[in-house]
C-alpha cells in the first residue's frame, strides 16, 4: 500500500523559496508545493489556468485587474493567459495544481525557472 504524503516534511526539505516540488500526479496534472518568499517573476501561462492554495502564511497575486490577497485555506485560480506575479513578504507555503508540462515561470523564463522535481 502506498504511503501518505506529508506536505510538512516535503516543504521542510525544500532548500530555497520558489523551488516547487511535485508531490503527486493526477491524470496529466501535477500537485506541487512551494515555499514563497519575496517577489516571483511576473509571467503568464498562455495554455493553462493556475491554481494557488495557501497552506500557511500570506500570498498576494498581483494582476493588472487588481491584487488577490490570500491567507491559509484560501485559493485563487489565475485564468490562462493572465499576467500575474506571486508575492509573499513574510513567507508562505503554497499548493499548486497545473499540467505536468507547465514551467513555473510560464512565458517569462529567467533565474527562477525551475526544472520539474518530484519530491
Domain ranges of the chain: 7-99
Is residue 57's pLDDT more than 60? yes
Is residue 1's pLDDT more than 60? no
- At the fourth CATH level, the homologous superfamily of domain 7-99 is Jelly Rolls (2.60.120.10)
Question: Phi-psi bin for 115: left (phi > 0), alpha (psi -120 to 50), beta?
Answer: beta
Cell output for 30: 501535477
Residue 63 confidence (pLDDT): 97
Please compute the mean of the pLDDT values over residues 104-114 and round it to a whole number.
89
Please compute the mean of the pLDDT values over residues 89-98 and round it to a whole number.
97
Interatomic CA distance for residues 98 and 102, integer angstroms: 7
Amino acid at each position: 500500500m502506498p504511503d501518505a504524503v506529508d506536505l510538512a516534511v516535503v516543504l521542510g526539505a525544500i532548500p530555497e523559496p520558489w523551488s516547487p516540488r511535485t508531490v503527486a500526479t493526477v491524470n496529466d496534472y501535477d500537485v506541487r508545493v512551494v515555499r514563497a518568499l519575496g517577489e516571483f517573476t511576473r509571467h503568464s501561462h498562455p495554455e493553462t489556468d493556475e491554481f494557488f492554495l495557501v497552506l500557511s502564511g500570506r500570498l498576494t497575486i498581483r494582476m493588472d485587474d487588481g491584487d488577490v490577497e490570500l491567507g491559509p485555506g484560501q485559493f485563487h485560480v489565475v485564468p490562462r493567459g493572465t499576467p500575474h506575479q506571486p508575492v509573499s513578504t513574510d513567507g508562505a507555503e503554497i499548493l499548486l495544481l497545473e499540467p505536468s508540462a507547465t514551467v513555473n515561470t510560464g512565458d517569462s523564463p529567467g533565474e527562477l525557472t525551475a526544472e520539474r522535481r518530484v519530491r
